[in-house]
Amino acid sequence: MTNSDQSHVDPKQTSSFSIVPFENRGTKITQVVFNGSNYDAWSRDFRLALLAKGKLDYIDGTISKPKTTDPDFKSWRSANALVTAWIFNSIDTDLKNTISLRDEATQLWTDIKQRFALINDAHIFKLEYDILACKQGPTETIMSYYGRIKRL
């Protein structure tokens, strides 16, 4: 399929189980590479990309693994493997070796979230301190200053 053919895929004819021809396991669906310290930015970008592809259900628990006798099982298995590959393709090479491969994308996503999306009192205190200590630099534009505060 050529790039010009990609625009002719009817999104109404696709489901969470379907894989369109130009989606493959080698595709990187986000430019943000997860390095272990950027979980919030990576997960936000990755979820947005999955939502655009109609595959968010594979990590948020909406779609559960069908029984092997279910007619949708093979389609689910293929799409699940694709989402799992996309997750691994978006992780820094050094970090990949520390993450256990799981059979289901939702399990992999949950494991990563539990490990890296730690919200604790010390982190909240540091963020509050950083916000209070944030001052506009003498040569910094108001847009840049606002952006720093907004990120915090």
pTM assigned to the model: 0.68
DSSP per-residue codes, 91-107: B-HHHHTTS---SSHHH
88 neighbors 96 (Cβ within 8 angstroms): yes
Q: What distances in angstroms separate CA 62 from CA 51, 52, 82, 116, one per listed residue?
A: 12, 16, 17, 22
- pLDDT of 24 reads 57
Taking only the tens place, the pLDDT of each residue in 26-58 is 677 889 999 988 898 899 999 999 998 889 999
Alpha-carbon span 118 to 110, nearest angstrom:
12
Q: What distances in angstroms separate CA 60 from CA 103, 104, 105, 106, one per listed residue?
A: 15, 11, 9, 6
φ/ψ region of 40 (left if φ > 0, alpha if ψ in -120 to 50, else beta) reads: alpha
Alpha-carbon span 56 to 20, nearest angstrom:
15
Task: Write down the domain spans for the chain.
Answer: 21-118, 119-152
Residue 101 pLDDT level (bands cut at 50, 70, 90): confident
